[in-house]
Structure 1
Amino acid sequence: MKISGAAVFAIAIASVEAFSPASVQQRNGATALFSTTEGSKPRTKKEGRLGFFKSEKFHRKGFKEVRDNVEDTINEQYQSSLVDDLKSSNYVIEKDNVKVYLAKDFGFCWGVERSIALAYEAVRHYPDRKLHITNELIHNPEVNDRLTEMNVNLIEKLGEGKKNFDVVEDGDVVILPAFGASYEEMDFLDKKNVEIVDTTCPWVSKVWNTVDSHQRKGLTSIIHGKYGHEETVATTSFCEDYICVKDMKEAEMVADYMANGGDREEFLKYFKNAVSEGFDPDKMLEKVGLANQTTMYKKETKAIGQLFQKTIMQKFGPSKVDEHYYEFDTICDATQERQDAVTELVENGNDYGLDFILVVGGWDSSNTAHLLEIPHHQGIRSFHINRADCISADNTITHRTVEGEIVTEPFLLNLDKDLVLGVTSGASTPDAAVQDALSQIFLLKKMQDAAKEGSAVKSD
């Protein structure tokens, strides 16, 4: 992973401007949904967010005077010579009786690179300030550990969606993570005497613009996402009326209620944590718009969209679909590219002779978890690890299953043959983490082969 500071920031800043609420507002106009203070001009939450951006204490484009040093630091900490060798050798390498096939798209996306760079620049730019971050910067343990070592304080979660902002004092610096922060958090911080460094990925902001369009059209937002995930929490904070569905099963429950009605109390009980306050399914599912957490499995989002379109068509007729349903694709390009690349590994698994596919990335990382689902659903042995030390010298591996359980089981099963594996990593995973994991496997295979040879000598 070689980051060019100038290139990353040119793309990032251009993307921020392309996805900015200002540019969308100029194209679409806006209708007021609420007033923020008595006597003030009514405005939408999106317009409120624009107001935050105008503050001299709100920073979205980094700090140029420290950029070169930050670029060098990031490359030193997160790049990998082994991964560079894999890419230069057509994504295949053989070493110590191990053959590795690397997915063609993997690892850090530019949005994550941008977020890390902005956070590191904030640390360098404010050397004498106390720094906080409202959530993990990204879902990767190594990156978050680095920020902790740099004395960036992770604001404590108190439960029920609350955080201990009492630790934030006048003059402090608060970093908003790549997932974004809720409207309420941004509003609270805007009113305090603090510097705000916003590292929100522009693709997340794009989703916020989409749900804003739902509100202006009088639609209820259906969010394909995990209601407790930081990104979805932020997205729903920009909605008026919403319901979250995590998968096709929940989407089918919503579609069935849309078409046929049902037990209102049971429905609300099931979705009690995933709907807006005062949600009324009998009224609020008449007109809906679909958006999604940017890291969800794109094929599932498309299937969910088709389900709702079909439901609307059956209920209101084909000519009324546009009046009752709106959809805009908000899956991140990087997410889709990584899903396509691991799909290619799966499709070629038999030809390659893969023993398993290794997925490297934070256990809380949604986009990484979806990479695991692809080989799992095709019956290919696969493991999702968050650190290299999940692979132990006793030939066991500790990994996260598709059901979310952390389990430990035997790892290398057939010691009489060379090992062949595929490897990929999530969009928040540094190349160095992939190198560390592969190095563990090389070492383990070497140890197992040596032990086998030792046993053969003794038997002779």
Structure 2
Amino acid sequence: MLQAHGTTSALCSGRQARPALPARRPRAGSVQVHATVAADKVDGRAVRRSLNKTGRYVRKPNKDPKSNELMEEHGVGYSSTGLVAQMREQDNLWQQGDVTVKLAKAYGYCWGVERAVRMAYEARNAFPEKRVHITNEIIHNPEVNQRLRELDINIFEDSAKGKDYASIKEGDVVIFPAFGATVQEMELFRDKNVEMVDTTCPWVAKVWNSVDIYGRKQFTSIIHGKYSHEETVATASFADKYIIIRDLEESNYVCEYILKGGDKEEFLTKFKKAVSKGFDPEKDLQRVGLANQTTMLKGETQEMGKMFERTMLSKYGPAALGEHFMLMDTICDATQERQDALYEITDDPSIDMMIVIGGFNSSNTSHLQEIAEHKGITSFWVDSAARIDVAGNKLLHKTGWGELKETTNWLCDGPLTIGITSGASTPDRAIEEVLDKVFRIKDPSFAGVAPKECAVVGVPEEEEEE
């Protein structure tokens, strides 16, 4: 059970001086996860193409109406009748008593995440008699993953010993999550003769294509991401030589090493869980290409690109820059749209506080909370409405730097304007449940928002992958 590190009482004024954030804590990762990444190189492009030839591989939703109905019942898709759906038709505004709610223009489920959940539901419906497994959480949302478990879908999770797929037998169904699976996992399940449902977000697959191109051109992939994150683990498995860099501080360290050299042993110790097998910084940093974990901050990725471009320009000169640096656009639009929308809503002087909703292990949600904190506005990050105690007017929430806190009297008496946003793995129902509790704290007689049929959220048509 999660426990708060401290208990505080909320300040009822919305704007505060920007907090002095504590130093970033050391990264924690799984040795077993890294060992998977550092496995012997496999031709990722060839493996992915071979999956299509098995006759046991699906990588697009089939728009099954029964699955859609069940998703609606479970609240794991887009809202079509609830509060969020009604807010979409009212310029993202809602007035409930003395509470004004402003919903960010871009929030919640991105297309790739909703698509992954939909495909998992469709897989269960398509194979009712088969055992169904997912190689990891389908998305970073605890309630959605619990719903899938209730459908008798087994979700593999990392442990101290890594993942053991021995229980998966021929004829079973294996789902690759929205973050993707490693090349080695794909090859394993292809040879196990199982049905494969690949829900990998097309934007993640775009990053894979980029690092594959870097490798074929004999460039080292610099991946902006967190080395233990499932998406980055999968991306690294498609790369030839790679180094995973978390932030601008690490980026600057690597750039300094390229320009001036340094202590090779220190370098390899610093990045021991974030480089490819046999990585040699003196040789493998001569030609580099930048890619990213799709949920990282766009501005930080762009700044990294500029840093490495300046570094290679300084070291090799303008004429040779193209021989030493490549940059392909791998930034996910959905992540950036949610970040831009949060910057916009936190610029609204009428906002008293922000509520950020999303899984506590969600990278893109943590960045939304960071933005709100850096803007100096009171902001509470919760992963679900279960964190809110209506009777006690208190909640358990997380900070952008990972501290879990309990705050009492977080909602003050009198008029209040609340900004709402949510991470890309957060269904509309989670927002509705949080706001339901907010309204109940402010007005004990609140009886809920009556459902109303609203327009369906449009999704793009998928293109064929090359």
1:114 counterpart residue number = 115
- The structure that has the greater radius of gyration is 1
Alignment of 1:71-82 (within 5 A): 71-78=68-75, 79=79, 81-82=82-83
User: Is residue 2:432 matched to residue 1:439?
Assistant: no
1:430 counterpart residue number = 427
1:406 counterpart residue number = 404
Alignment of 1:250-269 (within 5 A): 250-269=250-269
Deviation at 1:114, TM superposition (A): 1.2
CA–CA separation in structure 2 for the residues paired with 1:331 and 1:239: 17
Whether the aligned pair in 1 keeps the contact of 2:110 and 2:425 (CA below 8 Å) is: yes
- Determine helix, strand or coil for the equivalent of 2:209: helix
2:28 counterpart residue number = none
1:407-460 deviation digits (Å, cap 9, x = unpaired) = 212352642x311110011111110000000111111122599xxxxxxxxxxx
1:29 counterpart residue number = none
CA–CA separation in structure 1 for the residues paired with 2:160 and 2:435: 37
2:57 counterpart residue number = 58
CA–CA separation in structure 2 for the residues paired with 1:200 and 1:50: 15
- Determine helix, strand or coil for the equivalent of 2:243: strand
User: Is residue 2:247 matched to residue 1:247?
Assistant: yes
Q: Greater helix percent: which structure?
A: 1
Amino acid at match of 1:51: S
Structure 2: gaps of 5 or more residues: 1-39, 447-466
CA–CA separation in structure 2 for the residues paired with 1:156 and 1:88: 39
CA–CA separation in structure 2 for the residues paired with 1:148 and 1:101: 33
CA–CA separation in structure 2 for the residues paired with 1:444 and 1:186: 48
Correspondent of 1:387 among 360, 384, 391: 384
Deviation at 1:389, TM superposition (A): 1.6
CA–CA separation in structure 2 for the residues paired with 1:130 and 1:119: 13
Structure 1: gaps of 5 or more residues: 1-34, 37-42, 450-460
1:328-377 deviation digits (Å, cap 9, x = unpaired) = 121111111111111110122x1x2x221111111111111111121111
- Determine helix, strand or coil for the equivalent of 1:294: coil
Whether the aligned pair in 2 keeps the contact of 1:224 and 1:244 (CA below 8 Å) is: yes
2:172 counterpart residue number = 172
TM-score scaled by length of structure 1: 0.84
Q: Which moved more, 1:86-95 or 1:179-188?
A: 86-95
1:123-145 deviation digits (Å, cap 9, x = unpaired) = 01111111111000000111101
Query: CA-atom RMSD, angstroms?
Result: 1.8
1:238-287 deviation digits (Å, cap 9, x = unpaired) = 11110011111111111111111111111111111111111111111111
Amino acid at match of 1:117: R
Amino acid at match of 2:46: E
2:449 counterpart residue number = none
CA–CA separation in structure 2 for the residues paired with 1:290 and 1:304: 8
CA shift in 2, pair 1:74/1:199, >3 Å? same
Amino acid at match of 2:141: N
Whether the aligned pair in 1 keeps the contact of 2:61 and 2:115 (CA below 8 Å) is: no
CA shift in 2, pair 1:411/1:245, >3 Å? farther
- Determine helix, strand or coil for the equivalent of 2:166: helix
Alignment of 1:23-172 (within 5 A): 44-63=43-62, 67-78=64-75, 79=79, 81-159=82-160, 162-172=162-172
Amino acid at match of 1:60: R
Amino acid at match of 1:400: K
Deviation at 1:319, TM superposition (A): 2.1
Whether the aligned pair in 2 keeps the contact of 1:158 and 1:164 (CA below 8 Å) is: no
2:4 counterpart residue number = none
Whether the aligned pair in 2 keeps the contact of 1:63 and 1:122 (CA below 8 Å) is: no
Deviation at 1:391, TM superposition (A): 1.6
Deviation at 1:121, TM superposition (A): 0.7
Higher RCO (CA < 8 A, seq sep 6+): 2
Whether the aligned pair in 2 keeps the contact of 1:222 and 1:291 (CA below 8 Å) is: yes
Amino acid at match of 2:45: K
TM-score scaled by length of structure 2: 0.83
1:7-55 deviation digits (Å, cap 9, x = unpaired) = xxxxxxxxxxxxxxxxxxxxxxxxxxxx99xxxxxx9321222112221
Whether the aligned pair in 1 keeps the contact of 2:359 and 2:426 (CA below 8 Å) is: yes
1:375 counterpart residue number = 372
CA–CA separation in structure 1 for the residues paired with 2:216 and 2:287: 12
Whether the aligned pair in 2 keeps the contact of 1:425 and 1:434 (CA below 8 Å) is: yes
CA–CA separation in structure 1 for the residues paired with 2:92 and 2:354: 14
2:11 counterpart residue number = none
1:276 counterpart residue number = 276
CA shift in 2, pair 1:413/1:143, >3 Å? closer
Whether the aligned pair in 2 keeps the contact of 1:109 and 1:427 (CA below 8 Å) is: yes
Deviation at 1:305, TM superposition (A): 0.6
CA–CA separation in structure 1 for the residues paired with 2:314 and 2:364: 33
- Determine helix, strand or coil for the equivalent of 1:305: helix
Which ranges of 4 or more aligned residues in structure 1 deviate by more than 3 Å?
A: none
CA–CA separation in structure 1 for the residues paired with 2:393 and 2:263: 51
